[in-house]
Amino acid sequence: MTTHDSQTIALPRDTNVDRAWWKEAVVYQIYPRSFNDSDGTGVGDIPGITEKADYLDELGVDVVWLCPVYDSPNADNGYDIRDYRSIMDEFGTMTDWEALRDALHERDIRLIMDLVVNHTSKQHVWFQKSRRCEDGYEDYYHWQDGDPDEPPNNWQSIFGGPAWSYDEERGQWYLHLFDPEQPDLNWRNPDVRDAVADVVTWWLEKGIDGFRLDAIDHLSKADGYPDGDSDEPITGLEHFSHGPRLREYLTELATAFEGYDTMTVGEMGGADIEQVDEYTGEGGLNTVFQFEHMGVTAGPDGPWDPEQFGEWDLTDLKEIIGQQQGEIDWPALFFGNHDQPRLVSHFGDDEAYREESAKLVATFLLTLRGTPYIYQGEEIGMTNDVFSSLDELDDPMTVGIVEELLEEGAIDTYDDAADLVNHRSRDHARTPMQWSDEPNAGFTTGDPWFAANENYTDINVESSLTDPDSVWNHYRRLIDLRHDEDAFVYGEYDDLLPDDEQLYAYTRTLGDERMLVVLNWSDDTATLDDLVVETSHAEVVLSNYDGVSDDPSAGSFDPYEATVYRVGST
Ligand code: GLC
């Protein structure tokens, strides 16, 4: 039995909401390489996505965010772009891409692309020209003189190792905040900014509906490239995140969007909650991915702390979500993506309560204020995989960081990091989408580029569609509910039990309409006593358990129960 402190809640009655389609949308993120292979090459492709347009429509999503499909040598699975205006051969052709765009639009699903302009591939023609110092391209990247054995400063790459590599051809160091194959563009150069704006216009003219902007908080680097504080988890981050000219660059970039009906969401891995609104609104981005809640499972040395990871307290999550809900003008809501562990493994119980906890996190995602993002596979409760050696990994970040831990002596062998990798690696999110119990999860008839999680025989789309109680059907109902109830989109969020370690209860109130969400985020039963909200007219609108009472204080909540009530008029 748990007890709860009461608190008073202020209820706004103003229903004059500032509507926008991108606020009311539910977004579905596709990592094309792992989504669906149409031609048996073992690699997911664009026609494979088009084949699934009806699937997306049935799920009820409004927008697809397509991870990079541009021509790329794939040092980082497409996040290293060689040509912004052409499609990667493995994924198909521009005609295939146009067919996908049209298939989505015919179903009223919008399409946003991934704009990766903090860096390019080393094979991009801009880098090729820059390393040869060709006229006009000398300063397209961050070049620094120096002894070939001594990088210009102590900055670390986000993927592990130094952030500088020496280029023999030019005889200088170049900066790469990610892989050495991903040199950072020099945004101080107005020609670079113009060239990026041209890319944006080119794609907008092709009829897309916006962009997710990759690693966008890193565009501006501190003048003089000062050394960073080596006690921080990533040395130098304070000098290459939220740099002095970031807002100026974003404002300039925003002019390329003028006159188009688009949405933008910027990935800002290092943004504090207070910083988000600096970059959004008039002349900025529409929204920003703020990552603080994803860090609740991290240790003191960050998400890759080999000593401490995975443990977390519900009250910490509530505090962060409360701040995001209260302080960010329009939050971008997510609990997983292609860089994160699988949502149910990260925030739920992927064993005994896999279905219940996957539905619970889904309920949370789809009843908060902001624009929700569903990552492929979440809708069937896909889980983390198990990787027992470095050879089984693909992700350059995981490999780079494990190698760095080995080098620093923080671990002696891969086995010392295996639990961390099996908790955290980006590879978990990149195992093929589990369509059926056919070989390779029905993802490909060929040899898959990356092995499917063996649990596909139990967890797959085909069986989910026919089971009315599946995680998939729960997502569909939640999406419908969100579309039907403005209170979930625009309503005020109030946390009723900020100090409770087991139950998360909050209301969403819009004018006279009030919804109550109660999540038992634990594998024990829980009871609710002092709910400071009137529930005499409460009725259940959705739950992940059967036979739930309309009165939230009548009985107990089952493990990972997630129940949504209409508590009626305020
Ligand atoms: C972003 C992407 C990630 C990529 C990195 C470098 O964080 O989400 O997948 O590796 O940027 O482009």
Residue to probe by mutation, ligand 1, list 76, 185, 424, most atoms within 8 Å of CB = 76
Ligand 1: distance of its center to the CA of 157 in Å? 12
CA angle 319, 321, 327 (to 5 degrees): 95
> 9 pLDDT band (50/70/90 cuts)?
very low
Mean of the per-residue pLDDT values of the chain: 95
Q: When comparing pLDDT for 55 and 553, which is higher?
A: 55
559: nearest Cα among 505, 523, 517, 518? 523
pLDDT in tens, 241-258: 999 999 999 999 999 999
The ligand 1 atom at the shortest distance from the C-alpha of residue 119 is 12
The tens digit of pLDDT for each residue in 463-511 reads: 999 999 999 999 999 999 999 999 999 999 999 999 999 999 999 999 9
Cα–Cα–Cα angle for 417, 420, 421, rounded to 5 degrees: 85
| Tens of pLDDT, residues 317-350 | 999 999 999 999 999 999 999 999 999 999 999 9
User: Is position 327 annotated as part of the catalytic site?
Assistant: no
Residue 4, pLDDT score: 33
SS3 513: strand
Of ligand 1's listed atoms, the one at least distance from the Cα of 116 is: 12
Q: How does residue 15 score in pLDDT terms, banded at 50, 70 and 90? A: low
Which amino acid does the sequence have at 141?
Answer: Y
Q: How far is CA 535 from CA 504, 511, 531, 558, in A?
A: 16, 17, 8, 19
- Using the predicted structure, report yes or no on whether residue 538 has a pLDDT greater than 90: yes
Task: Please write the tens of the pLDDT for every residue from 354-409.
Answer: 999 999 999 999 999 999 999 999 999 999 999 999 999 999 999 999 999 999 99
Out of 96, 214, 500, 561, the active site residue is 214
H/E stretch holding 289: strand 287-290
Minimum CA distance residue for ligand 1 atom 3: 339
Specify the length of the chain in residues. Answer: 570
CA of 118 to the centre of ligand 1 (A): 10
The CA distance from 30 to 204, in Å, is 19
pLDDT, greater one: 109 or 16: 109
Ligand 1 pocket: which residues have CB below 6 Å?
Answer: 76, 79, 116, 178, 214-215, 267, 338-339
Q: Has residue 7 got a pLDDT over 80?
A: no
| Predicted confidence (pLDDT) per residue in 297-318, tens digit | 999 888 999 889 999 999 999 9
2's CB contacts (< 8 A; 6+ apart) are 500, 501, 502, 503, 526, 527, 528, 529
pLDDT band at 461 (very low <50, low <70, confident <90, very high): very high
Say if CB 447 and CB 42 are below 8 A apart: yes
Q: How far away, in angstroms, is 79 Cα from ligand 1 center? A: 6
Residue 102 in this model has a pLDDT that exceeds 50: yes
**Angle CA(364)–CA(368)–CA(370) in degrees, nearest 5?**
135
Closest ligand 1 atom, CA of 397?
10
Closest C-alpha among 9, 147, 73 to residue 492: 9
- Ligand 1 atom, smallest distance to 76 CA: 10
* pLDDT at residue 570, rounded to an integer: 56
Judged by DSSP in three states, 108 sits in coil
Phi–psi pair at 194, nearest 5 degrees? -65, -40
Q: How far is CA 357 from CA 1, 216, 383, in A?
A: 21, 32, 12
Q: Is 24 a catalytic residue?
A: no
All structural domains of the chain, each given as residue ranges with its CATH number in brackets, are 26-118+190-387+468-479 (3.20.20.80), 125-175 (3.90.400.10), 490-567 (2.60.40.1180)
Residue 554 is predicted with a pLDDT of: 81
pLDDT score for 553: 86
Is residue 529 scored above 90 in pLDDT? Answer: no
Per DSSP bridges, beta strands 562-569 and 539-543 are antiparallel
Identify which of 31, 69, 74, 79 to mutate to test ligand 1's pocket (most ligand atoms within 8 A of the CB): 79
pLDDT above 70 covers what percent of the chain? 97
Strand ranges inside 8-68, DSSP E: 27-30, 63-66
- Catalytic residue, from 45, 80, 217, 267: name it: 267
Three-class SS state of 100: helix
pLDDT at residue 13 in the model: 42
Task: Please give the distance of CA 300 from its chain centroid, rounded to a whole number.
Answer: 22
Q: For residue 520, what are the β-bridge partners?
A: 503
